[in-house]
Amino acid sequence: MTLAKSIDLQTLSLLDALDLAIAIEQEARERYKEFAELIGDRYHGDAAEFFESMVINEEKHRAALVHRRQALFGNAPARVETDDVADIEAPEHRVARNYMGTRQALEVALAAEHKAWEFFNDALPQLRDEDVRALFTELRDEEAHHSQMVRDLLDRVPGDDDADREADEVDTPNL
């Protein structure tokens, strides 16, 4: 998880903090979209469908932050972009596999939510601006809530669901 060197958390303004949060959600959304496309739909409730639901969730979070930013700062130009963040909430590229199961997809999302929680939590002591500190506290707490939601879903998925297999190991009908 990396942050551009040009972003100094100690001097981060609320505008920049909102732009940073938007960039984090945007990157996560794009990564989940890549994963859904890589895996492809196989059946209802599969890993790709779960990743597609994560695309929708990340977009909702991003849109809410954009709305909040616009209400506070209008059309002020952004100084923090998606290119300024790397893997703060987005799962790492290497974790997606063509034949991953729903359980593995949920575990990927849980790790990503925890990684985002760690980022916001670890950033808090560095923040000087009280409004930025309040935003990061709120975002950290949201990540904890999201993690719990994923854990609840994991509790409902069988432990042996469609484990990672190579393409030649998957039972497919003769066509």
Q: Give the Cα separation of 106 and 87 in Å (integer).
A: 17
What pTM does this model have? 0.85
Distance, CA of 125 to CA of 53 (rounded, Å): 33
Tell whether domain 12-165 is in CATH 1.20.1260.10: yes
**Token couple for 168:** 């030649």
DSSP label of 76: P
Tokens 């972003």 locate to 7
- Please give the structure tokens belonging to residue 149: 């939601």
Alpha carbons within 13 angstroms on the beta-carbon side of residue 75 total 0
- Token pair, residue 32, equals 């989940």
- From first to last of the 175 residues of the chain, give the pLDDT tens digit: 567 667 889 999 999 999 999 999 999 999 999 999 888 777 777 888 999 999 999 999 999 999 999 999 999 999 888 888 887 888 887 887 777 888 999 999 999 999 999 999 999 999 999 999 999 999 999 999 999 999 999 998 877 554 444 444 444 333 3
